Structure 1
């Protein structure tokens, strides 16, 4: 019996593409998983940079979805980016620099505060704050530091004094002639004298060479120099007593007050200068008087500079003589003492006695070192003197070779 279904065993009929889409719409794509939210700590430490204009343009041209996303980002308020910046320069006015120098001046004379105050002065030099407008206040800083000439040679502040005055050499072009002379004397006290206290076998001979050159540059002392030195010492003694200064100040104040009262009574309104024309003779006499005063002041400054320089060099000689116990310094000190003794005429009469005593003490120690015995039982001589003694008995051959059969002694070239 035949089946009633005619399409049994046949595939179902194909439908059109439009009808199939209308009949069975495509399911929507699954939603994208949400992005993980950053932790509060990470978001507070690091912020994402705002997109640049190039990135926004590229994303808008790539797809409309990206354009919509960029529009949403642009609509959101941008968080300003924070950056940490350090100031490398300090903009200080001239008045602030002057106040700082005045404060340093008030503390740098104290040995316990010198180290900190000198570092502040070094910062002013390195920052370029020492200018012709402030050079007077900076010179006051150096003057306060050298108020006591012996304080600069203390072991605790030697390095700080050397650092300060070596750095101050870069601003000496702003000094006047009187300040330059004073600074040269301070350099002998604060730098050269401290170099003599070093343990460096290269620095010590270099400092000795500077002292030798400074001694050779001194002029020959005269009787006027001796008199000026005696006068200066007497003035220092009187200033220490203080009684004469007080009396002189009181008398000068009284005379000045009497002169002022006399002038006010004769011409209370100062009309004589306006009514009476000044003669040319009075002006020329006044100019000559001013020139004479300037010349006298320059001569006095020159004498004071030479006197201070001689005293500083004598101090350096004394410091070097105290280091004679160190073996590697003995030969250099022998040369320095001999050079000072040969140029003893460049010192004053009082200083000549000190130089002669130093040279005699050096010679005595030299003789004691050559003939005395040390703790080890050997002669207390250095290497140069040992070789000098050895080759002084050798003979030189005709070919100038030591140890030959010649009869000439080696002392001819050893000295």
Structure 2
């Protein structure tokens, strides 16, 4: 698994490495004892913010993250949260990337090859079914989001000020050492001869205070992890809305997109300020297209996705890994192993 994890980050090796990962799942190799190694494979696969949308890799990404659902019970809660956000991007968003050619490319049952469906009726029905099913799943995820808070809006606004934020971080780092020194110095002065250990009541109080502090620290970490999960889920759903909007030129997609964007607009309070603005502009564009259809005018098929483009550009520069980047730079040894 470690070899697969080190090679799957390379787009040229992704196809073969992902198929090997799917075979591990089907063989029952992924268990509680190997779940961390398998998660490293998924993490390496999604390390690139755009590779999952590559037309030549979509089928492999879809197959890998669909198969990963079968072993999600072996992952920790934190890992399952990340898998959920990644699955929205790799599976649902790719189900929305359809066109009117009705050429459907899928992995075969064993994950060893590709099969292509060229039949017009079968291809159209398959595309419609995937698009509609993905839209329904996205609506469920949107409904499950918590309401966005003012703090989250403020954090988003502060993220736009990269330069000032970096300076603030440096200033805070410089002020920390004096404070930590004075705190430790004060603690030593309170008990210069170490006599506090002779008083059991004091020791018990200190132990209780320490336990309480540790519990508060764990609770804070859990809250921060939940916020990161919700943030990544919102970003993935925004990606899906932007992807679906780009398919509005296809007539049979329009009604599904209308319903999806209307649902997002009705639940816009579950997104942050900048995301709400993008959703509002998209819904206004949808209503304009609906009006044109009612008046019998031609539909341009183009929606206002400028806000989404800005958000995608912002997210593309952010790291999505929860650990350090998975190694592997495509050395000669890797090329030989993968053929």
Query: What secondary structure, in the 3-state scheme, does the structure 1 residue paired with 2:97 have?
Result: coil
- For residues 4-403 of structure 1, the aligned pairs below 5 Å read 101-198=1-98, 199=102, 200-231=127-158, 233=159, 237=162, 279-371=203-295
Structure richer in helix, relative to its length: 2
Deviation per residue, 1:24-51 (Å, 9 max, x gap): xxxxxxxxxxxxxxxxxxxxxxxxxxxx
Q: Which residue of 2 aligns with 1:27?
A: none
Would the aligned equivalents of 1:334 and 1:362 in 2 still touch at CA under 8 Å? yes
Output the CA distance in 2 between the equivalents of 1:354 and 1:292: 37
Scaled by the length of structure 2, the TM-score of the pair is 0.68
Query: What secondary structure, in the 3-state scheme, does the structure 2 residue paired with 1:324 have?
Result: coil
Query: What secondary structure, in the 3-state scheme, does the structure 2 residue paired with 1:288 have?
Result: helix
- Displacement of 1:373: 5.2
Q: Which has the higher contact order (CA 8 A, sep 6+)?
A: 2
Output the CA distance in 2 between the equivalents of 1:168 and 1:214: 19
Structure 2 residue ranges without an equivalent (≥5): 103-126, 189-193, 302-339
Would the aligned equivalents of 1:321 and 1:362 in 2 still touch at CA under 8 Å? no
Deviation per residue, 1:205-254 (Å, 9 max, x gap): 111111111111112222122123345x369x47xx989989999x79x9
Scaled by the length of structure 1, the TM-score of the pair is 0.56
Would the aligned equivalents of 1:372 and 1:380 in 2 still touch at CA under 8 Å? no
Structure 1 residue ranges without an equivalent (≥5): 1-100, 267-271, 382-415
Evaluate the alpha carbon distance shift between residue 220 and residue 359 of structure 1 in structure 2; reply closer, same or farther with a 3 A threshold: same
Output the CA distance in 1 between the equivalents of 2:218 and 2:280: 38
- Displacement of 1:353: 0.2
Query: What secondary structure, in the 3-state scheme, does the structure 1 residue paired with 2:148 have?
Result: coil
Deviation per residue, 1:138-193 (Å, 9 max, x gap): 11111111112322111111110111011111111111111111111111111111
Evaluate the alpha carbon distance shift between residue 107 and residue 364 of structure 1 in structure 2; reply closer, same or farther with a 3 A threshold: same
Evaluate the alpha carbon distance shift between residue 285 and residue 191 of structure 1 in structure 2; reply closer, same or farther with a 3 A threshold: same
Query: What secondary structure, in the 3-state scheme, does the structure 2 residue paired with 1:112 have?
Result: helix
Output the CA distance in 2 between the equivalents of 1:111 and 1:130: 23
Query: What secondary structure, in the 3-state scheme, does the structure 1 residue paired with 2:28 have?
Result: coil
Q: Give the structure with higher Rg (CA).
A: 1
Output the CA distance in 1 between the equivalents of 2:157 and 2:46: 23
- Displacement of 1:380: 9.2
Q: How many residue pairs are counted as aligned between the two chains?
A: 260
- Displacement of 1:281: 2.1
* Aligned-CA RMSD value: 3.3
The 10-residue stretch of structure 1 (158-167 or 220-229) with the greater mean CA deviation from structure 2: 220-229
